[in-house]
Structures are given as C-alpha cells and as structure tokens.
Amino acid sequence: MAVETLAITTFNAIMFIIKQSKDLIRYLQKQRSAKKKIRFVPTMGALHQGHLSLVKKAIGESGVVVCSIFVNPTQFNDPKDFELYPKTLENDIYLLEKQGCDVLFLPDMNEIYPTGTGHSRVYELGYLESVLEGKYRPGHFQGVCQVVHRLLEIVRPNQLYIGQKDYQQCLVIRRLLTLIHSPAEVIVCPTLREPNGLAMSSRNMRLTSAEKQKAGGIYEALSFINRNIKPGPVKEIIEKAGNLLAQKELAADYIAIAGAEDLQIIDIWDGRTEAIALIAAFMGKVRLIDNMILPLNFADYGN
C-alpha cells in the first residue's frame, strides 16, 4: 500500500500522507472495522489557524481525522484566481502533523477527476445558486459540489467539518448531502480572525500588510450592522456599511442582509427572522468574503 509517512516526526504522533484514493479507502475501511469514527476536514491548502481550528475540533476519542488538500479547478470561475491561489504544502504538512491530524489526503487531478472535469451531473441547488456568491461567481457552487461529492465518496466520513466563514457554502453542502443521501453529520465551526477582525483566509497571503489592515474594514462594517440593525428597512444601514468599506478602499461586490436559514434577501427586517449580514469585497485584486449572524430584536415585540 503506497502510504508515505513523514521521514522525521518532530511530534509524538505520525501523520500518514496518502495520495491515492484506493489506498485511503482501504486504510479507512480498517479504521471503520476497528470502530473508529471518520472525521473529515476538506481544504484547498495554504493552511492557517482557521483551518487548524477545524482539525482541532475534529480530534476526539475513537476517531481518525482526515484532512484533504486539493485546489479544485472547477470551483474557480476566474482562471487567474486559480493560478494565483497560494500553495504552501511543506508548511501545511508541518502544521497538520503538529495539530495532531491522522491522515493527509493529497490527491492529484486524476484521483478526483478520473474522467476529466466535464460536469457529469448538475446539482439542484435552486435559489442558493442564483444569489450572492452564486450570482457573482457563476458555476462556483457546482464546482464545490462536484469536488465535495467525490471526496465524500472516497472518505465516507461520519462527520464533516466546515467553516462558517463560507456561510453560503455551508448551506450548499448541507443541500448536497441531502441530494446524494449522505449520512455524514455536518459540523459548522466559527470563523477565526486576525487581531483586527479580518477573517483568516488563504487569500490574505496575497495582501500586503497595509492592505491587511485596511481589509479589517469588512469586519468593522459587519460589526456596525450587528450593533445598529433595527426592525424596519435595511437600506440605510447597508449604505452606511458601504461607506465604511469605501473609507478603507474596499470595493464591495455586495453587502446584504439575508435570512440565516435560506439566504432570502431581506429588505425590511421584522426583528424576529434569524438574519445574517454578508459581505464580499475586493482589496485590490483579492476578493474577500465574511459574514456575521445578527442578534434578534425581541425588545420591539414585547417578548
């Protein structure tokens, strides 16, 4: 079985690096027979503390933590973004092993797309695909479903760990699991941030330190909405949040308030519907996204 282990293990545990799906399938079958739960953290690498927080959460009793690194071309609607996506494999391996990950699955294109990247199936994502990220990044969520579906077929996890930072992706993945009848339990983990509030992201590596500082404006705008939202029309608060972004030279694709369950855009908030504020904005050529769940405003309804 072509399993590679790191030559030097600086830490107490050994992490397997497995490149072929047939080897991973065989390995995980043995783990299942030994009554181990399979906990899976899919990533595109260039790992940061946000990714590692998912791995940390996945580590537990009687479990095997599998992290995958695969930069999936089919989810990039902009080929330049794909080309420039940061790659830091050596450091990723170091961080994962240090964190206590059991297996790194490192497939190549042939493993994930043995018959090429042509869409073999269209996933019925409905409204989720036409709003916000779906609208600004056509085809993106079909690509996400394509790769996650394939990874789930290989790993067949008991639990799947994903980040709230990619909120719409969380909803899409939940929908995917229903569509493909996967029994995996989804664990959504909170967003880890830099000290200035900027959500950690692999794309932040493409920012200068001055740009990183200014990109903290996304968190400021979300916090502003969070502090000031009241039942009623949301137009004015969105405009003010837009001004905060502009002051930091952030160019917004969208600033939206939407239903937290279905992402239906909210123009007039009733104060009772669980809502979320979402922003996508460019700092220079780098596109960043973030979101914040909004507090419910019961006071106005005498509850």
CA trace torsion 197, 200, 202, 204 (10° rounding)? 10
Tell me the closest approach of the beta carbon of residue 281 to ligand AMP, in angstroms: 16
Which residue lies nearer to ligand AMP by CB, 139 or 242? 139
In the residue annotation, 140 being an active-site residue is answered as: no
From the candidates 48, 51, 140, 149, give the one annotated as an active-site residue: 51
* Cβ distance to ligand AMP smaller for residue 182 or 202: 202
* Chain residues that interact with ligand AMP, rule: CB under 6 A: 43-44, 50-51, 53-54, 162-163, 165-166, 189, 191-192, 199-202
How far apart are alpha carbons 280 and 192 in whole angstroms? 17
* Alpha carbons 183 and 33: distance in angstroms, whole number: 18
Cα-based distances in Å from 133 to 77, 85, 179: 11, 18, 20
- Give the nearer residue to ligand AMP in terms of CB position, either 20 or 191: 191
CB of 14 to ligand AMP, least distance (A): 24
Task: Reduce the DSSP state of residue 66 to 3 states and report it.
Answer: strand
81 burial type by CB count under 10 A (0-12 exposed, 13-18 middle, 19+ buried): middle
Q: Which two tokens stand for residue 130?
A: 């036409």
**Where on the phi/psi map is residue 181: left (φ > 0), alpha (ψ -120 to 50), or beta?**
left
Of 150 and 165, which has the nearer Cβ to ligand AMP? Answer: 165
> 123 and 134 in contact (C-beta within 8 Å)?
no
Question: Which residue matches tokens 């003010």?
Answer: 240
187 CB contacts (<8 Å, ≥6 apart)?
57, 58, 159, 160, 161, 162
The smaller minimum CB distance to ligand AMP, of residues 53 and 142, is found at 53
**Alpha-carbon distances, residue 13 vs 10, 48, 101, 122 (angstroms):** 8, 20, 9, 41
For the bound state, the minimum distance from the C-beta of residue 76 to ligand AMP, rounded and expressed in Å, comes to 11
C-alpha span between 194 and 209 (Å, rounded):
12
Q: How far is the CB of 112 from ligand AMP (least distance, A)?
A: 14
Nearer to ligand AMP, 53 or 74 (CB): 53
In 180-287, alpha helices (H): 209-215, 217-228, 235-247
How far is it, in rounded angstroms, from Cα 294 to Cα 223?
Answer: 9
Min dist. Cβ of residue 274 to ligand AMP (A): 20
**Positions marked active-site:** 51
